[in-house]
Amino acid sequence: MNANSLNLCPKCAYESFCVLTHNKSLVFSCSEFDESQYQAPKPIVKIKESEPELVTI
């Protein structure tokens, strides 16, 4: 495995100090992965409840 498009490291709580690898762009599977402390803003699509949810023509 040389490279892969999916990478767990950026969302891992240990990313900044993890000693398992220097190559933090290639990790698709990791027993130490922990996302619990990670916080980031990013709703994908949001629809306010006050707005109409379904539009019929």
Partner 1 sequence: MTNEQTVEKPITVKKGMLENVLEQFNTAADQIKLNPNVRKILSITNTEIIINFPVRMDNGDVQIFTGYRVQHNNALGPYKGGLRYHPTVDIDAARALAMWMTWKTSLAGLPYGGAKGGIQIDPSKYSKSELERITRRFTYALGENIGPEHDIPAPDVNTNDQTMAWIADTYMSTKNTSERSKNQHVVTGKPVGSGGLEGRDRATGYGVFLTIKFWAEKNNQSLKGKTFIVQGFGNVGYWAAHFLENEGAKMIGVQDAFGSVQNNSGITVEDLFNYGKANNGSIVGFPEATPLESSDFFALDCDICIPAALGNQITKHNANAVKASLIAEGANGPTDVEGEKILLERGITIIPDIMCNSGGVIGSYFEWLQNRNGELWQMDEILEKLEKKLRTTFKKVTAYSEENSVDMRTAAFSIAIERIEKAYILRGIFP
Applying CB under 8 A, the residues found at the interface with partner 1 are 1-8, 11, 14, 17-21, 23, 26-40, 42-49, 53
Choice between 6 and 55, CB closer to partner 1: 6
Distance CA 56, CA 37 (A): 42
CB of 52 to partner 1, least distance (A): 11
Residue pair 21/27 in contact (Cβ under 8 Å)? The answer is yes
CB of 9 to partner 1, least distance (A): 9
Rg of the chain in Å (alpha carbons): 18
